[in-house]
Amino acid sequence: MFFVTIVAIFTLILYFYDTRTFKYWKERGVKYVEPVLFFGTYTDVYLEKKSRSQIAEEIYWKYPNEKVVGAFKSTTPELIIRDPDLIKHVLINDFPSFYCRGLNHTYDVEIFRKHLFAIDGDLWRMLRQRMTPAFTSGKLKAMFPLIVERCEKLQSRTLSAVTGKRALDARELMARYTTDFIGACGFGINSDSLNDENSPFRKLGANMFKVTLRDSIVAVLKDVFPYSEKYLKTFKRVEPDILNLVKRILTERNYKPCGRNDFIDLMLEYLNKPMEAESIEKVGENPIHVKMILNEKLFAAQVFVFFGAGFETSASSTSFTLHQLALNPDVQKRVQEHIDQVLTKHNNKLSYEAVKEMTYLEWTFKEGLRMFPSLGFLMRRSTRKYKFQEINLDIDKRVNIIIPVQALHMDSKYWDDPEEFRPERFHPDNFGASQKMVYFPFGDGPRNCIGSRLGLMQSMAGLAVIFSKFTVEPASETVRYPKVEPKSNVVQSIRGGLPLMFHERKQV
């Protein structure tokens, strides 16, 4: 009897703990999605039936007349923002109130969650300042010869499929290309994923985004009990491989820049040295400066995100663009003619200058990103109490903010015939203020994607070499409207890949 009583009391305490926030939006007069115990609004996410992007998109369309909609990530209140003006406040105008990404519940997290994309506050600001010089135009131009080498291998890999008259999974093809690109340009490693089917580097990349049953359970526990985060590791299975990779690279370079001017060289300039920045957390009348040492483990965390984000996002966006061009042959023909004209002007050689001139290809890629952005939603977290003046809404500190990028990119309120693949949308005469307000393939504001120009360059170079030599068509197994992988989290991916047929072009 005593045991039953204890269980009953514990269950009651757990129930009240888990439902304590469930009236948050009702008390503020905000329409919201009714939450359930433990899962909040995201039951289908935790059960791996839908991705977070899909849930955000569903909520967006369910409340077409609302500027904001309430939701709950387990017990944490979330606000889905549908209005472009309010979004601008969060991302840009009132950034000091929303500088947190919101991926970590506390600062005391495993080392591989202390990277530029996930970490918040002063550490984020210091890392951002240190890493920004790696992505200047000069650095990108200097590494372009390495890109050309990977593009040549991409052509060879594609040609082998043409010869064998078999379909290629465009998603896997571009993941191998972007993996080789990041390996060479970021770390000075010749991973050769395009030729080696069993490339350890490619396996490492695939493993980073693999979602296991343990991962799903850990995700629920972290959201229900946020302070358990310090004890529950998300990246346990890849941590030894990443640490060993970093150790090997550092040893080969003798812990000093070697003159390659790649990402590792840049970070080595700051290894075991203090980073300093004006505090974003401690705000007073006079600026407060904070310092921190960039140690080897923190170094490894930045390598982790540079590798993971660098190959996964570009692989997702380029493969979807290939898929759309296979289904839109007239657009594909214009892309090919445009690429041919630019390359002819540059003696049929791919170069940094040539890629910069491929404006129609850039519009095409941006259209692919519109229809299927790598990040289907953006997330921020309030760092203090805040009032949305336009709608007279007060929120507390630590409320999650969700910006449903996928839905905004496909809303006919901002885009004519959004289901149509039309690169001309991005002609300067057509891409106006209303579109700029809702187009977020790389985020916006101070926490926008630091590597957006690098991602654009590697993606356009890869697409250029493919369409200069090949024509892409649907395969027998191609699905016109592919489904989103429900297990995908921050970066969207397609379930089952994107099989396409590649045919060698007849050279005139």
Summarize the annotated binding site as residue ranges.
449
Structure tokens at 447: 């926490």
Q: Give the contacts of 176 (CB within 8 A, at least 6 positions apart).
A: 157, 193, 194, 199, 202
How far apart are the C-alpha atoms of 262 and 376, rounded to whole Å?
29
Q: Which of 232, 228, 230, 227 is nearest to 214 (CA)?
A: 232
Strand partners, 70: 32, 79
Sheet order of strands, 378-381 included: 68-73, 76-81, 400-403, 378-381
Q: Which of 412, 307, 333, 328 is nearest to 370 (CA)?
A: 412
Q: Assess contact for 274 and 293: CB atoms under 8 A.
A: yes
How far apart are the C-alpha atoms of 438 and 420, rounded to whole Å?
18
What is residue 372's DSSP assignment? S
How far apart are the C-alpha atoms of 482 and 474, rounded to whole Å?
12
Instruction: Report strand pairing: 386-388 vs 68-73.
Output: unpaired
DSSP labels, 252-266: HTTTS--S--SHHHH
Q: In a 3-state reduction of DSSP, which class is residue 71? A: strand
Phi-psi region at 301: left, alpha or beta (left = phi > 0; alpha = psi -120 to 50): alpha
Q: Residues comprising the binding site for heme?
A: 449
477 residue type, one letter: E
How far apart are the C-alpha atoms of 287 and 279, rounded to whole Å?
7
Q: Which of 193, 199, 162, 198 is nearest to 180 (CA)?
A: 193
What is residue 92's DSSP assignment? I
Structure tokens at 55: 């849930």
Q: Which of 407, 408, 411, 382 is nearest to 397 (CA)?
A: 382
